[in-house]
Amino acid sequence: MTHHRNQHDVAIANVSRRKLLKGIAGTGAFVIAAQFPAVRQAMAYATGAGAMAHGVVTNPSVFVAIAKDGTVSIVAHRAEMGTGAARTSLPMIVADEMDADWTRVRIVQSPGDEETYGNQDTDGSRSVRHFIQPMRQIGASVRKMLEQAAAKQLGVDDKDVVAQFHEVVHTPSGRKLGYGEVAEIAAKLAVPAPDTLRMKKAADFRYIGKGGVTIVDLHDITTGKATYGQDITLPGMLFAVIARSPVVEGKVMTYDATATMKVPGVVKVVKIDPTPPPAAFSPLGGVAVIAKNTWAAMKGREALKITWDNGPNANFDSVSYKAQLEAVVRKPGRLERNEGDAEAALASAAKKVTAEYYSPHIAHATMEPPAATARRNDGKWEIWTSVQSPGGARDDIAKRLNVDAKNVTLHNALLGGGFGRKSKWDFAIEAVLLSKAMDGAPVKVVWTREDDIRHDFYHTVTAERLEAGLDKDNKVVAWRHRSAAPSFMANFKPDPKFPGEIELGMGFVDTPFNVPNIRLESGEAQSHVRVGWFRSVNNVAHAWAIQSFVAEIAHELGRDPKDMLLELIGPPRIVPAPEKATTAWWDYGEPHDVYPVDTGRLRKVAELAAEKAGWGRQLPKGRGLGIAAHRSFVTYMATVVEVAVDDKGNIAVPRVDTAIDCGFCVNPERVRSQIEGAAVMGLALAKYGEITLKNGAVEQSNFNDYQVVRHDEAPAVTNTHIVEHGLDVPSSGVGEPGVPPFAPALCNAIFAATGKRIRRLPIGNQLA
Amino acid sequence: MVSVRVNGQERSFDGDPSMPLMWYLRDELGLTGTKFGCGVALCGACTVHLDGEAIRACSIAMADVAGKSVVTIEGLDPKGEHPVQVAWRNVSVPQCGYCQAGQIMQAAALLAKTPAPTDKQIDEAMYGNICRCGCYQRIHVAVRNASKGA
C-alpha cells in the first residue's frame, strides 16, 4: 500500500463514511503499530477461518487508526450487504474491546485486498462466526498499547493505568489522557503478545450483545447519500448495457448495429465472446452498447439486430427437466450416507410413508441490480462495484488482465442486497472489458432488472423423494431420502452432474434424526443454466422437504407435528460424523468439536418457538400453525408460522415466531432484522419464486412475472426469540439460517389450516 | 429544451425528451439517492415527488415534467429531519438500504395527504415499494409512528 502515515497530519476531515478510501492509510491519523505486525492469534477456540483464502489478519495497524482529536478509524474489510455485520457489528467489536466511545468511531471501507486484510469473502454467514475473535484481539491489543503509551507519557507504571471509554486513567492520581493524546506514542509501540492480552468479560461489554448500536449508514441511507455500485459517478464516465445471449453458452453469430449507432449519445458497440464451460464468473456472450448516458445505451441496445447461436442448451425446457429429475429420484442413486440397513427396514416396515417434493430455480433479485465501473490510468486499473468477495474479484480480474494485483484497486461500495448473487463478479469483469475497449476510459456497466432476472446464477432446482418405514409401535425405523439437483460446481469444473460435499452438507448428509436405519442418496442432474448459491443454498430445498415430511408422518399417525419432530430429533446428544458417509462431512468448514451437531440445541429452539407461538392454541377456521426446525451454517433455528387461508386460497401470515441459537449473540438488534427479513424472503420463495426456461431461455423478466412479497402480504409480525449464551458458546452467523425453516413451517401451517399438502414450490395458485 | 425545478433549483435539459426523469436525475444531475430498481414502475425504488405527488421517476419522460417541480430524497428536508426520516431511524428500518429512499418518499407523500392513515391505507400506499431484504414490518411501524395516528 501507500505511505503509511504522516505523524504530523491529524486532519481527519477526509475520513468519510461515504467516501471509498484506500484503507486506513488515507485517514491521516496515527496508524496503530505499523511496524510490528502481530503474527499469532489469541483464539479461545478454533474456527474454519484459517482455511479460508488468506485467513485472518489480527494486526491492529491494518484495522485501527487514532487521530489527535481522538477520532478512531476502524476498517470494515468485508462487504456490507444489509446484515450490518461488515460495517457495524465487526467494527463495534473492535471498539468495545478497546473501550472506545462508539460516537467517536468512523468506519473506513477497505478495498479488495485479502493479503492485507485477510479473507473478505462475505458469504456463508461467516463474518461474525470467523471474526468475533480476531476483532476482539485487535481491540484488546490497541487498548493495551494505549495504556502502555499513557504510562510512558505520564512516567508511571503500566499496571496503574487503565483504558476506560476513550480515556486512559492513572488510577492512583486520577489523571486522564484521551486516546488521541496518547495515540502518537501508542503508534510506535510493539503489538503485545496475544497471551498477554486482557480480554473483557462479557459483563464489561458496552456494545457487544446489547443491540443498542444502530447501523453506521443509517443516516446516509435515510437521506439518499448512501452509495451503491449502481450510483458510482466519475468524471467523463460512459455508460453501458449489454445484450446477453438468452441461452447459456450461446454466442453472437452476426449483429447489425447500424440503427444503434444512429441513437444520439451512443459511442461504441462491442462484441463480447463467451467463455466455454467451466466459465466460472466469466461474462456471457453478447453485444455491449456504450453511450453517454444509461438511457441512450438502453435505446441503442433495443435497436441492435443480433442473430444468436444458442449453443448446446438451445432445447432446454424446465418442464421436461422437472419430469426428468423426478424420475431420477424414483431410482436408486449415488450413496451419500448409510447407517444400518434402510432397504431391509423399509421392506419389513409395518407401515410406510412416501412423499416427493419439487422446488424450482429461483432468482436472487437483489433490489440493486448488478453494476460495476472500471477505468485504467497509467497501467493501473480501478474498479468500483458492489461484490460480496472484493478480494477474490480483484485477484481474478488481475489474473484475467495478466497484471500484478497491486495494479488493480477494487473499491467496494455498499451492496443493495447480495443473497449470493454478488458473490459472482461477472459484471465487474464486463466493466473491465468495456473500459479496455474504450482505451481505459471509465465505463459503468448497468444491469437492468430484465438482465438480472434473465442472466442470474440461479438457485438450483431440486427433486426429492422421502420414504419412512415405521415399526408396529409406529416408531420411525427407516429413513431413505433421495435428492437430485444440478450442482453449482459446474461453474468451476466440467459438470460433475452430482452435488459436491458443500451442497450435500447443507441439510442432507447432516440430517440429525434419531433413526437407526438411514440411507441418503443423490441423483444425477446435469446443469443447463448458471447455477449459483442463493441465501442458505441447498438448505432451502432440503429443509423444506424433510420438515414437510416430518409433518406428513405425524399426520399419517394422527400425531402432533411438533411432538413428531422432537421424537425424530431424539434425545439431546452430539451427532457423530456419520461413519459410513461416503461423502466428506463438510459442516460449513468448521471443526466438529467446536461446532458439533447438538440435538439438544435443535430441540431447544423447536420447543422455544412452539412455546412462544402458543403451539396448540385454538384457531378460527382457515387458520393453522406449522413448525419446522433446521440447523444451517452451524446456527439452530426453528420457526412457527401462523397462516390464514381464505376460501379463494389467498394466504396471509398474521404471525411468525422464530427461535434462534447462534451461540454468543453479538448484535441482537441486527439478528432480529435478519430473522424478520428471512420470513419475508421465505414467504416470497414459497409463494411465488420460480424461474422457468423454454428453448434454453428464461421466461421471466421483471417483478410482474417474477413476483416477490410486497408490503401488504408480508408477515404482519415476526417475533424473534434468541437463546442466550455466554462467550463460552462460539458465535455463528445469522444471514442465511433464517430462510430454510420458513417454507416448511408455512406449508405445514397451510396443511393444518386446509388439509392441503404442498409438495411443489412455489405454492402459486395450488390453493385456489 | 425542458425546464424543470429539482429540489427548488431551476434546471434545463436539452437532451432526449423521451429520457425518463430517473436517468436525468441520476446520470445528468448526479442525484443518485433516487434508485434504479426495475425501470417499469414495478418496485418503487425511484419514487420522487412531482408537484407533491409520489411518482415513479423511471416511468415519466422529461418532456412530461416540463414546468413542474420535482423533489428527491436529497431535497425532502435540508437536514434529513423529515418526520418520516426520523421515524425510519428510530426503528432502524433499513437493512441494505437500497429501496429506502423510495419507501421514504412514498410514505412522506402518503402522510402529506393522509396524516392519520389506517393500517389498510398504509398497506395500499406502500404496496408498490418492494423491499427484498424484507423490512416491511418496520416500514409499517415507522410510517405509523410518523403519522398523526401514532
How far, in Å, CA of B130 to CA of A45, rounded?
A: 41
Residue-level pLDDT at A17: 33
Cell digits for A739? 430462510
Residue-level pLDDT at A26: 59
When CB atoms are compared, the residue of B15, B72, B96 closest to A82 is B96
Q: A357 to chain B nearest CA, in Å?
A: 26
Residue-level pLDDT at A40: 57
Taking the CA atoms of A118, A123, A124 and A130 in sequence, report the sign of the dihedral they define.
Answer: positive
Q: Please say whether the beta carbons of A303 and A260 come within 8 A.
A: yes
Cβ–Cβ below 8 Å for B37 and A415? no
CATH 3.30.365.10 domain residues, chain A? 24-223, 229-312+370-446, 318-363+457-754
Cβ–Cβ below 8 Å for A294 and B16? no
Considering the segment(s) A318-363+457-754 as one domain, its CATH architecture is 2-Layer Sandwich (3.30)
How far, in Å, CA of A130 to CA of A56, rounded?
A: 8
Q: Is the pLDDT of residue A45 over 50?
A: yes
DSSP B65: G
Q: Which domains does chain B have, with CATH numbers?
A: 2-75 (3.10.20.30), 83-146 (1.10.150.120)
Distance of CA A541 to the CA centre of its chain: 17
**In which residue ranges of chain B is pLDDT below 70?**
150
Residue-level pLDDT at A193: 92
pLDDT digits (tens, 9 = 90+) for A72-119: 999 999 999 999 999 999 999 999 999 999 999 999 999 999 999 999
Q: What is the mean pLDDT of residues A368-391?
A: 98
Residue-level pLDDT at A38: 46
How far, in Å, CA of A702 to CA of A365, rounded?
A: 9
How far, in Å, CA of B130 to CA of B128, rounded?
A: 6
Q: A344 to chain B nearest CA, in Å?
A: 46
pLDDT digits (tens, 9 = 90+) for A227-268: 999 999 999 999 999 999 999 999 999 999 999 999 999 999
Identify the helix (H) or strand (E) that includes residue A109.
Answer: strand A105-109
Cβ–Cβ below 8 Å for A369 and B37? yes
Q: What is the mean pLDDT of residues A621-645?
A: 98
Q: What is the mean pLDDT of residues A662-684?
A: 98
Residue-level pLDDT at A16: 34
Show residues of chain B in contact with A224, CB under 8 Å. Answer: 31-34, 72-74, 101
Cell digits for A758? 404442498
Closest by CA to A368, choosing from B97, B134, B2, B72, is B97
Q: Please say whether the beta carbons of A291 and A240 come within 8 A.
A: yes
Other Cβ atoms within 10 Å of A514 Cβ, number:
15
Q: A442 to chain B nearest CA, in Å?
A: 14
- Would you place residue A401 in the very low, low, confident or very high pLDDT band (cuts 50, 70, 90)? very high
Closest by CA to A339, choosing from A507, A484, A509, is A509
Q: B72 to chain A nearest CA, in Å?
A: 9
* CB contact B71 to A (< 8 Å): no
* CB contact A686 to B (< 8 Å): no
Pair type for strands A380-385 and A462-470: unpaired
Cβ–Cβ below 8 Å for B95 and A677? yes
Residue-level pLDDT at A584: 74
Considering the segment(s) A229-312+370-446 as one domain, its CATH architecture is 2-Layer Sandwich (3.30)
Show residues of chain A in contact with B80, CB under 8 Å. Answer: 219, 222-223
Cβ–Cβ below 8 Å for B134 and A680? yes
> Buried b / exposed e across B29-63, counting CB within 10 Å, b at 16+?
bebbbbbbbbbbbbbbbbbbbbeeebbbbbbbbbe
Show residues of chain A in contact with B140, CB under 8 Å. Answer: 711
How far, in Å, CA of B3 to CA of B67, rounded?
A: 6
Q: Is the ipTM of this complex over 0.90?
A: yes
Residue-level pLDDT at A13: 24
When CB atoms are compared, the residue of B73, B80, B98 closest to A367 is B98
Threshold 0.90, pTM exceeds = yes
Q: Please say whether the beta carbons of A66 and A34 come within 8 A.
A: no
* CB contact B40 to A (< 8 Å): yes
Pair type for strands A635-645 and A623-632: antiparallel
Backbone angles phi, psi at A757, to 5 degrees: -100, 125
- Helices A179-186 & A127-154 angle (0-180, nearest 10): 90
Residues 4-33 of B with CB under 8 A from A: 15-16, 19-20, 23, 26-28, 30-33
pLDDT digits (tens, 9 = 90+) for A714-735: 999 999 999 999 999 999 999 9
Cβ–Cβ below 8 Å for B35 and A416? yes
Say which residue the cell 441492435 belongs to: A304
Three-state secondary structure of A447-462: CCHHHHHHCCCEECCE
How far, in Å, CA of A511 to CA of A483, rounded?
A: 13
pLDDT digits (tens, 9 = 90+) for A68-79: 999 999 999 999
Closest by CA to A510, choosing from A571, A562, A591, A588, is A588
Cell digits for A183? 495515540
Three-state secondary structure of A630-659: EEECCEEEEEEEEEEECCCCCEEEEEEEEE
Residue-level pLDDT at A7: 32
Side chain identity at residue A608, one-letter code: L
Q: A63 to chain B nearest CA, in Å?
A: 23
Q: A717 to chain B nearest CA, in Å?
A: 7
Cβ–Cβ below 8 Å for B23 and A716? no
Show residues of chain A in contact with B23, CB under 8 Å. Answer: 293-295
Cell digits for A719? 417475533
In chain A, % of residues over pLDDT 70: 94
The CATH number of the domain covering residues in A24-223? 3.30.365.10
If you count residue pairs, one on A and one on B, with CB atoms under 8 Å apart, how many are there?
187
In this structure, of A28-42, A344-358, B108-122, the range with the lowest mean pLDDT score is A28-42
In this structure, of A47-61, A279-293, A448-462, A559-573, the range with the lowest mean pLDDT score is A47-61
Cβ–Cβ below 8 Å for A294 and B26? yes
Residues 52-91 of A with CB under 8 A from B: 81-84
Residue-level pLDDT at A1: 29
Residue-level pLDDT at A27: 63
Other Cβ atoms within 10 Å of B8 Cβ, number:
10
Report how far apart, in Å, the C-alpha atoms of A484 and of each of A321, A325, A520 are. 11, 6, 11
Q: Is the pLDDT of residue A763 over 90?
A: yes
When CB atoms are compared, the residue of B45, B97, B124 closest to A226 is B97
**Closest residue in chain A to residue B27, using alpha carbons only:** A293
Residue-level pLDDT at A31: 73
Cell digits for A471? 415399526
* CB contact A45 to B (< 8 Å): no
pLDDT digits (tens, 9 = 90+) for A475-494: 999 999 999 999 999 999 99
Q: What is the mean pLDDT of residues A639-652?
A: 98
